[in-house]
Amino acid sequence: VARLREGARVDADEREELARNIERLQAQLRRALDENGRLTDDLEKKQRLLAELRGREEEAAREVRRAEDDADRRRALDDARHLFRCMLGDEGGKPTKAHRAAPKAGDLSGFVRRLGRAPATPGAAWLMEEHRGPSRLGAPGSAEG
């Protein structure tokens, strides 16, 4: 009987120790789950902040590209204005006497008179000859003409 009582007492002690271990492990598990939840929340918050930061950086980069494109357009427009003013004459944009006497669009007679010769062919072909010299095809004195 003493042996049975001793066995029952040892079994009760083991049960108590197992119950304490279970409670301790449950408390550790609760703490780990709580910490895991906090870490997950922190990670999600950092990911949101990082995504917002990337979005702001991308927007800033787009704004820089937009500003550079605008500056390029302004420079091109300024260059075109300058070219136009130069074509008109002085920097003030007032046409010179030679420009006021310029022929109207499509009328090359004044231009031809200033050159001192009439075009051999009408239109663009004659203008092309002026830049390259007279055409050898069909020209008087050429071997093929």
Residues 6+ apart with CB under 8 A from 115: 130
Q: What sign results for the dihedral spanned by CA atoms 96, 98, 101, 103?
A: negative
Per-residue pLDDT 10s for the chain (145 aa) are 888 899 999 999 999 999 999 999 999 999 999 999 999 999 999 999 999 999 999 999 999 999 999 999 999 999 999 999 888 875 454 555 544 554 455 554 554 444 444 444 444 444 444 444 444 444 454 444 3
Identity at 26, one-letter amino acid code = Q
pTM confidence score: 0.41
Please identify which residue in the block is written with the tokens 């022929």: 103
Would you mind telling me the total number of residues written for the chain in this entry?
145
